[in-house]
């Protein structure tokens, strides 16, 4: 679980969480609890749109779910169907304008759309639409989808949505709501997971299963790649809007993004992380006195590593949970005197000890270097770094906010060079096979079921906008 990063620019961030509900008298409030459980996926803005069958109610704002909604405005969200969204901002600028779900009026009435993920042909689609005279008020892919629907000549929202989805290339989980229909769909590769649950008579959707436990809903199944579910007056029906490709769930869900209590692709995240720690211990054993994880995302892997090696797991690094947007930053001078912010090393635990530090990934390498330095300053005699993901050598085009290849340290340097750069005594990354085995894939099925493009460069889709940029289209 992450909060607003202040210490650390060296994190991967994924954009957004979505939640939907149909058929419950408390649709808005349950969506609120659902979004609250998904808060770790986006803290920039939050929004809920509901319908009572006649008209929409809308509430969106910048900030945390608890900041955007209150007892008053939640009551004004009427109706038994609703969709919600929490957003992490990659660009930072536009704030509220991009807060989802977006709401549109078009020839056939009102339309609300919430998406998570990223299209790899959004730029091309925008350009085509602009040439037809379309105007854009946001920088979201969601607005592109709305234009495609509005311009469709299909007779109804379901056909129009199908037509639109077939033009999209990329990773997405999305919900489209009108006053009489709710459509839920996932991209043909199933890169961005979306799950369904039941809560009494109501049906619930969430981009992560942790939201189901919070509201007491019972998991039913994951949405299939290329599947489109429709809820309208005639009830629910499922359809496939695109030829189903092989599923390729983002493997960073298990490594880092998802809450440890979620199941992704049927596999509990905490358990998978513990197995990553165990496999790291097998792949790269080391003599040491204590194991510590970088909180919070690496705690599970560190426990797994400790269990497998018998080296005690201790809290050698601690994170201050109260760091927030309003935190007063230390000056350079105070930093040099040793003032930490978000993360600090625990002298009483690491002084005089050989420390294994387990982390989930190395992106630019800057954070790892700072943590290693911090551990040494607190008295660690050796620092052995174990990373529960393989080296990230390629940018993600499916919604993860990775830096350019030039800034990805593993794209530029060997593991030994990275070790020197971050100042560790030893450094090992888990192997791709090890990671997949930890998640639950047999070694023989390498790259089956999971997207591992950021490690291997084998992207599951054509990267249309990128080809254009590179002059290949």
Q: Cβ 287 to a second copy, closest distance in Å?
A: 19
Q: Cβ 229 to a second copy, closest distance in Å?
A: 22
Instruction: Candidates 77, 215, 372, 463: give the one binding a second copy (CB under 8 A).
Output: 215
Instruction: Candidates 30, 49, 176, 396: give the one binding a second copy (CB under 8 A).
Output: 30
In 173-315, where does DSSP find H-type helix?
210-215, 252, 269-283, 299-309
Q: Cβ 423 to a second copy, closest distance in Å?
A: 18
Verify binding: residue 239, a second copy, rule CB under 8 A: no
Task: Report the residue number, 58 or 411, with the smaller CB distance to a second copy.
Answer: 58
From the list 10-18, 186-194, 214-222, 393-401, the region that binds a second copy by CB under 8 A is 214-222
Q: Cβ 36 to a second copy, closest distance in Å?
A: 6
CB 171 within 8 A of CB 454: no
From the list 25-33, 185-193, 234-242, 380-388, the region that binds a second copy by CB under 8 A is 25-33
CB 50 within 8 A of CB 57: yes
Footprint (CB under 8 A) of a second copy, residues 244-263? 259-263
Query: Which positions make up the binding site for Mg(2+)?
Result: 297, 359-360
Verify binding: residue 65, a second copy, rule CB under 8 A: yes
Verify binding: residue 328, a second copy, rule CB under 8 A: yes
Q: Cβ 468 to a second copy, closest distance in Å?
A: 16
Verify binding: residue 54, a second copy, rule CB under 8 A: no
CA separation (Å) from 25 to 47, 57, 203? 19, 14, 12
Instruction: Candidates 4, 9, 54, 137: give the one binding a second copy (CB under 8 A).
Output: 137
Verify binding: residue 33, a second copy, rule CB under 8 A: yes
Residues with Cβ within 8 Å of 417's Cβ and at least 6 positions away in sequence, in order, are none
> What's the 3-state SS for 195-224?
EEEEECCEEEEECCCHHHHHHCCEEEEECC
Rounded CA gap, 105 and 136, in Å? 14
Phi first, then psi: what are they for 71, rounded to 5°? Answer: -55, -35
Distance from chain centroid for Cα 319:
21
Q: Cβ 448 to a second copy, closest distance in Å?
A: 22
Distance from chain centroid for Cα 360:
14
Task: Report the residue number, 87 or 259, with the smaller CB distance to a second copy.
Answer: 259
Q: Cβ 66 to a second copy, closest distance in Å?
A: 5
Q: Is 16 a catalytic residue?
A: yes
Instruction: Candidates 22, 378, 387, 427: give the one binding a second copy (CB under 8 A).
Output: 378
Structure tokens, 34: 């659902």
Footprint (CB under 8 A) of a second copy, residues 390-419? none
Rounded CA gap, 178 and 187, in Å? 21
Instruction: Candidates 9, 53, 54, 66: give the one binding a second copy (CB under 8 A).
Output: 66
Task: Report the residue number, 189 or 270, with the smaller CB distance to a second copy.
Answer: 270
Instruction: Candidates 114, 158, 349, 451: give the one binding a second copy (CB under 8 A).
Output: 349
Number of residues lying near a second copy (CB under 8 A): 97
Footprint (CB under 8 A) of a second copy, residues 171-210? 199-200, 209-210
From the list 175-183, 347-355, 438-446, 458-466, the region that binds a second copy by CB under 8 A is 347-355
Instruction: Candidates 9, 339, 443, 462: give the one binding a second copy (CB under 8 A).
Output: 339
**Bridge-based pairing state of the strands 382-387 and 354-359:** parallel
What is the rounded radius of gyration, in angstroms, for the C-alpha atoms of the chain? 23
Query: Which positions make up the binding site?
Result: 250, 297, 359-360, 396, 451, 454
Verify binding: residue 162, a second copy, rule CB under 8 A: no
Number of other CB atoms surrounding residue 154 within 10 Å: 13
Residues with Cβ within 8 Å of 123's Cβ and at least 6 positions away in sequence, in order, are 465, 468
Structure tokens, 259: 């809450």
From the list 318-326, 387-395, 420-428, 454-462, the region that binds a second copy by CB under 8 A is 318-326
CB 408 within 8 A of CB 392: yes
- Positive or negative: CA dihedral 364, 257, 59, 109: positive
| Run of H or E including 362 | none
**Bridge-based pairing state of the strands 109-119 and 102-106:** antiparallel
**DSSP 8-state class, residue 257:** I
From the list 309-317, 417-425, 443-451, 452-460, the region that binds a second copy by CB under 8 A is 309-317
Footprint (CB under 8 A) of a second copy, residues 82-121? 94, 96-97, 102-107, 111
Instruction: Candidates 125, 230, 250, 303: give the one binding a second copy (CB under 8 A).
Output: 303
Residues with Cβ within 8 Å of 245's Cβ and at least 6 positions away in sequence, in order, are 188, 189, 225, 226, 460
Instruction: Candidates 78, 236, 245, 271: give the one binding a second copy (CB under 8 A).
Output: 271
DSSP strand E in 333-435: where?
Answer: 343-345, 354-359, 382-387, 426-429
Rounded CA gap, 380 and 352, in Å? 5
The active-site residue, picked from 12, 15, 16, 60, is 16
Residue numbers annotated as active site: 16
């Amino acid at each position: 679980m992450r909060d607003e990063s202040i210490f650390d620019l060296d994190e991967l961030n994924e954009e957004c969480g979505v939640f939907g509900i149909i058929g419950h008298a408390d649709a808005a409030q349950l969506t609120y609890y659902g979004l609250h459980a998904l808060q770790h996926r986006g803290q920039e803005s939050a929004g809920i749109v509901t319908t009572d069958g006649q008209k929409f109610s809308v509430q969106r704002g910048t900030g945390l779910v608890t900041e955007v909604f209150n007892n008053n405005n939640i009551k004004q969200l009427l109706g038994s169907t609703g969709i919600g969204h929490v957003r992490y901002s990659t660009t930072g600028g536009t704030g509220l304008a991009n807060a989802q779900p977006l709401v549109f009026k078009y020839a056939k009435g009102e339309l609300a759309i919430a998406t998570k993920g990223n299209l790899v042909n959004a730029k091309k689609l925008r350009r085509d639409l602009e040439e037809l005279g379309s105007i854009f008020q946001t920088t979201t892919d969601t607005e592109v989808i709305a234009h495609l629907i509005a311009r469709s000549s299909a007779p109804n929202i379901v056909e129009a949505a199908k037509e639109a989805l077939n033009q999209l290339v990329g990773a997405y989980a999305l919900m489209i709501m009108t006053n009489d229909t709710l459509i839920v769909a996932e991209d043909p590769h199933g890169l961005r997971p979306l799950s369904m649950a039941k809560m009494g008579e109501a049906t619930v959707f969430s981009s992560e299963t942790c939201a189901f436990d919070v509201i007491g809903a019972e998991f039913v199944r994951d949405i299939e790649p290329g599947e489109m579910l429709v809820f309208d007056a005639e009830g629910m029906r499922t359809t496939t809007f695109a030829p189903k490709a092989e599923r390729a769930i983002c493997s960073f869900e298990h490594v880092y993004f998802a809450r440890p209590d979620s199941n992704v692709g049927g596999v509990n995240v905490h358990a998978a992380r513990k197995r990553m720690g165990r496999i790291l211990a097998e792949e790269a054993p080391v003599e040491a006195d204590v194991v510590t994880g970088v909180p919070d995302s690496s705690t599970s892997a560190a426990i797994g590593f400790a269990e497998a090696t018998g080296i005690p797991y201790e809290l050698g690094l601690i994170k201050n949970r109260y760091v927030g947007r309003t935190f007063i930053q230390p000056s350079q001078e105070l930093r040099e005197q040793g003032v930490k912010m978000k993360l600090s090393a625990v002298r009483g635990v690491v002084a005089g000890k050989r420390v294994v530090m387990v982390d989930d990934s190395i992106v630019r390498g800057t954070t790892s270097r700072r943590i290693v330095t911090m551990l040494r300053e607190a008295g660690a005699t050796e620092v052995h770094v174990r990373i529960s993901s393989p080296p990230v050598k390629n940018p993600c085009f499916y919604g993860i906010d990775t830096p350019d290849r030039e800034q990805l340290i593993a794209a530029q340097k060997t593991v030994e060079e990275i070790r020197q750069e971050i100042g560790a005594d030893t450094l090992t990354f888990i192997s791709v096979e090890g990671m997949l085995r930890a998640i639950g894939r047999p070694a023989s099925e390498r790259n089956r079921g999971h997207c591992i493009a950021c490690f291997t460069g084998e992207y599951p889709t054509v990267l249309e906008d990128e080809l254009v940029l590179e002059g290949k289209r």
